[in-house]
Amino acid sequence: MLKLINTILSFSFLYSALVNAEEENLTWGGFISQGLVYTNNYNFIEGSQNSLSTDFREAAIYGLWRPTDHLRLGGQVIARKLGNMTDDTPQIDYLSADYSLLSAPASSFGIRLGKLKLANGFYNNTREVPFTRNSILLPQSMYYEETRDFQLSALGVEFYGSEQLETDRLEYSFLASKPRKDEVSEFVFFRRNLSGYMDDGYLLIANLRLVEPRDVWRLGVTLGSFGLTYFPGSSQELGLENGDIDVKFFAISAEYNWERFSVTSEFFKHFIDYEDLGGFFTVQPKRTFEAFYVQGVYRPAHNVDLLMRYDLAYRDAHDRSGKKHEKKFGVPASNYWSKDLTLGVGWQATSSLLLRAEWHHIRGTARVPEQENSSSLRKHSSWNMLLVQAAYRF
C-alpha cells in the first residue's frame, strides 16, 4: 500500500509541474497499462501458474523541454510491476541532456549525457512503451524480462549522428557507461541472488543502422562489451573468488515492410568469461549464449495487427541440446534451451487505447524466471502462457 501511495504522489507531482508549465517548447505525455497472465507448469510471474494473475502493470510520465534550438532536456519516471522481477516503486527510466552539434539535411551529430537508454537491437530503447512494440512481451530470447532493468538504461555519455548516403541513410551511435550493480546484475550472471556484490564495471555499445528513405527496410548491427567485478560474501556460495566477469556481444537486425505486412528478425550472441571467479565456473569458465527470432506482422486494417513469432534461445551455443550439461551436472537438458511459438493480436480501439492478447507455447525451460519459481527443478520440458493487456496513453 505504501508503494502505491508513493507512486500516486510521485506521478501527481510531476503531472502538476508539467501541466503548469507554460513553455511553448515543452511537450509531455505518459501511459498506463494493466495486464493479465495465465500459465501452466511454471510461473511467469508469481501466482500465474494455473491461475490468473493481475501482478503486471505499468505507469509512466515523460517530459521533453527544448530551451534552445540545439539543446533538449528529457526524462521519464516509470513505475512497473511484474511479479518479483520488478516492483512498483517509481524510478527514473531515463534523464538526459541532448546537445546537437550539427544539424543539416545531409549530416547530423550530437552528444547525450545522463541516464541513457541502451540501444541494443531494434527495440531495447523503446521497449517499455506498449505503443512502440508489436506484442505484450518482446522476444524473450533477446529482450528478457528477468534482466530488463539491467539491459534498459545506465549512466553515461553517448555520441550519435547520421549521414545521408546516395540513396539510404546511415545512423550511428557510441555509448560509454557504467552498468547497474545490484541484485538484477547477479541474476544476469548467476541466475540467483548471492551474498556477495558487484562493483566497478564498464559498458560500451556501438550501433550502426542503414535505413531506406521511406522506411521500407532497415538493417542494424550492435557491438558491445562490458565487465563487472564480483566480491564474494561471507557465505562463499559456489566457491567463487574475487574476480572480473567479462562479456562481449553483438546483434544483427533486419526488417522489411510492405503495405500490410512486416517481417523482422534479429540474431544475438554474447560470450561470457567467468575464469577469474574460479569455484563453480572452473568446470566451464567460458560460455556462449545465442538467440534468434523471426516474426511476421499482418495488418488487415489500419488499427488491427496479427503477429506470429518463433523465438529461440540457447544458454550454451556449443551444446544446444543441453545433453552435455545434463550428463555433466545432472540438470535436465531442457534447462539449457527455449523455443517459443507466439501468436498475438492487437487492436488500437482509439488513438489513446490499445488492447492486446497473445499466447505462447514454449518448449524448454531456459527462460523460466528464477525469481518467480521457488523450486529450481524443472520437471516439465514445456509450458504455455496467455497474456492480455490494456494500455492507455495521454
Which CATH number applies to 2-393?
Answer: 2.40.160.10
Taking the C-alpha atoms of residue 343 and residue 358, their distance in angstroms, rounded to an integer, is 6
Mean pLDDT of the chain: 89
pLDDT for the residue numbered 376: 65
pLDDT of 9 strictly over 50: no
Give the model confidence (pLDDT) of 255-294 as tens digits.
999 999 999 999 999 999 999 988 888 888 899 999 999 9
Per-residue pLDDT at 307? 98
Residue ranges of E strands in the chain? 26-39, 52-65, 71-82, 91-103, 107-117, 153-164, 169-178, 197-211, 217-231, 243-257, 261-273, 286-301, 304-314, 337-348, 353-363, 382-393
Cell of 53: 494473475
The C-alpha cell of 136 is what?
505484450
pLDDT above 70 for 12? no
DSSP state of 258: -
CA nearest to 313, candidates 124, 138, 149, 183: 138
Strand ranges inside 327-381, DSSP E: 337-348, 353-363
Tens-digit pLDDT profile for residues 213-242: 999 999 999 999 999 898 888 778 888 889
pLDDT (tens digit per residue) in 318-343: 999 999 988 888 888 999 999 999 99
**What residues contact residue 331 under an 8 Å CB cut-off, 6+ apart?**
325
Task: State pTM to two decimals.
Answer: 0.89
pLDDT of residue 2: 46
For the stretch 166-197, pLDDT in tens is: 999 999 999 999 887 766 677 778 877 788 88
